[in-house]
């Protein structure tokens, strides 16, 4: 088998047909068909269902492996280039939406200063969407909700956030200065669906305290959840960074005392080394969070990251060595 065959399979997986795959590869459909047929012959298995254009079970397994191979090849090129000059290449990071709002602009600016030859690709999505993309090789890094319960993914804590209730004007709780979890007993609120880390943690605590959380609606996406509250559709229980300030008269952000907060960290695949661009970005994420997270109301830098920042310690890049990118000093606080 060769790379053209492997690339053809991934292109079919991504586009859903031989013709669309050919267009994405800037070739003709017959070439894609030939590459797939030769790969199937060599592996002794049908990889693509010709009637639907979708991958078979065997094809899905092979495509997942190919994505890892492609990621390693990209990293190889980037690492060799970085040995001869400054860090260069592509790096793909996923970021949960509420964190992306304040973190991504800072990352874009800082990466541009430190590593101008690195092309940064950012995916804004939920944790449940980002983790499969990280595992498959679509992403190099991901900023996600913690904990992540997967042996294939390693995480480092970045920060913790308080929980707040965003209540629109006219809501029964709008005039409250502070709340306890018991104040939300049987009160209709907007929440993320069950099965998400944010929802499951609060459900567990509510059960321990004999509080019944009554959902007005379940929204899978924290930014949309916040937007609905801002627009007056109901009160939403949110992490602090989802409600960055107070807007008089339209909605207010009310602290909820004694409620377990949200933890956010940066994730990477357990197997394989990070490419030089990914190592560089990971260091920029650490430095940027350490510097800027404290100015976000209700956001608290993790103890390990705060200690690292105080000592200017380089982080382990996963190879057992310290990353050279960490030698760049952190910028001054805002």
At 9 the pLDDT is: 86
If asked whether residues 41 and 62 sit together in one domain, one would say yes
At 183 the pLDDT is: 95
If asked whether residues 190 and 243 sit together in one domain, one would say yes
If asked whether residues 35 and 122 sit together in one domain, one would say no
In a domain, 76, yes or no: no
Handedness of CA 279, 284, 289, 291 (dihedral sign): positive
Write out the residue range of the structural domain in which residue 152 sits: 86-160+263-327
If asked whether residues 58 and 128 sit together in one domain, one would say no
Q: Which residue in 257, 217, 237, 234 sits closest to 169, CA to CA?
A: 234
If asked whether residues 130 and 46 sit together in one domain, one would say no
If asked whether residues 245 and 273 sit together in one domain, one would say no
If asked whether residues 97 and 156 sit together in one domain, one would say yes
Q: What are the average pLDDT values for consecutive 10-residue runs of the chain, which has 334 residues?
A: 84 88 88 87 87 87 81 68 71 93 94 93 93 92 94 95 92 93 94 88 92 93 89 92 69 90 94 87 95 89 87 54 35 28
At 323 the pLDDT is: 39
Nearest 5 degrees, angle CA 292-CA 279-CA 275? 150
Q: For 96-131, list the strands marked E by DSSP.
A: 118-124
At 116 the pLDDT is: 92
If asked whether residues 145 and 177 sit together in one domain, one would say no
Domain boundary among 205, 229, 260: 260
Domain with 237 in it: what CATH number? Answer: 3.40.190.290
Domain with 44 in it: what CATH number? Answer: 1.10.10.10
If asked whether residues 120 and 147 sit together in one domain, one would say yes
Phi, psi of 145 (to 5 degrees): -70, 145
Cis, peptide link before residue 251, omega less than 30° from 0: no
At 273 the pLDDT is: 81
Distances 258 to 167, 181, 250, 251, 290 between C-alpha atoms, Å? 18, 7, 26, 22, 25
If asked whether residues 171 and 253 sit together in one domain, one would say yes
In a domain, 73, yes or no: no
In a domain, 204, yes or no: yes
Portion of the chain with pLDDT greater than 90, in percent: 45
- Report the predicted TM-score, pTM, of the whole model to 2 decimal places: 0.69
Coil/strand/helix, residue 19: helix
Count of domains forming the chain: 3
Query: Strands 141-146, 89-95: parallel, antiparallel or unpaired by DSSP?
Result: parallel
At 123 the pLDDT is: 96
At 36 the pLDDT is: 86
- 278-291 confidence digits (pLDDT tens): 999 999 999 999 99
At 246 the pLDDT is: 52
In a domain, 78, yes or no: no
Nearest 5 degrees, angle CA 203-CA 208-CA 210? 90
At 219 the pLDDT is: 92
Distances 18 to 2, 4, 5 between C-alpha atoms, Å? 18, 14, 13
If asked whether residues 131 and 173 sit together in one domain, one would say no
Distances 245 to 15, 28, 145, 239, 298 between C-alpha atoms, Å? 42, 54, 22, 12, 10
């Amino acid at each position: 088998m060769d790379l053209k065959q492997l690339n053809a399979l991934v292109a079919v997986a991504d586009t859903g047909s031989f013709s669309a795959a050919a267009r994405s590869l800037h070739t003709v459909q017959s070439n894609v068909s030939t590459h797939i047929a030769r790969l199937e012959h060599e592996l002794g298995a049908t990889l693509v269902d010709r009637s639907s254009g979708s991958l078979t079970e065997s094809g899905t397994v092979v495509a997942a492996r190919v994505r890892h191979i492609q990621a390693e090849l990209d990293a190889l090129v980037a690492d060799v280039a970085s040995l001869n000059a400054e860090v260069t290449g592509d790096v793909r990071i996923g970021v949960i939406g509420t964190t992306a709002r304040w973190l991504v602009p800072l990352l874009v600016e800082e990466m541009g200063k430190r590593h101008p030859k690195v092309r940064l690709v950012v995916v804004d999505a939920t944790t449940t969407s980002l983790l499969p993309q990280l595992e498959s090789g679509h992403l190099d890094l991901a900023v996600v909700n913690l904990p992540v319960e997967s042996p294939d993914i390693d995480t480092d804590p970045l920060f913790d956030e308080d929980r707040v209730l965003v209540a629109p004007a006219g809501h029964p709780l709008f005039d409250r200065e502070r709340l306890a979890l018991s104040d939300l007993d049987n009160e209709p609120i907007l929440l993320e669906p069950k099965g998400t880390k944010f929802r499951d943690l609060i459900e567990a605590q509510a059960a321990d305290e004999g509080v019944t959380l009554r959902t007005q609606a379940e929204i899978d996406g924290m930014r949309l959840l916040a937007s609905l509250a801002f627009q007056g559709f109901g009160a939403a229980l949110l992490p602090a960074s989802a409600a960055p300030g107070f807007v008089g008269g339209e909605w207010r952000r009310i602290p909820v005392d004694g409620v377990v907060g949200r933890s956010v960290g940066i994730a990477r695949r357990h197997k394989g080394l990070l490419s030089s661009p990914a190592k560089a970005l990971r260091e920029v994420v650490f430095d940027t969070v350490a510097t800027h997270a404290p100015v976000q109301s209700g956001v608290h830098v993790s103890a390990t990251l705060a200690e690292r920042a105080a000592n200017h310690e380089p982080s382990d890049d996963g190879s057992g060595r310290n990353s050279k990118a960490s030698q760049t000093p952190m910028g001054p606080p805002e």
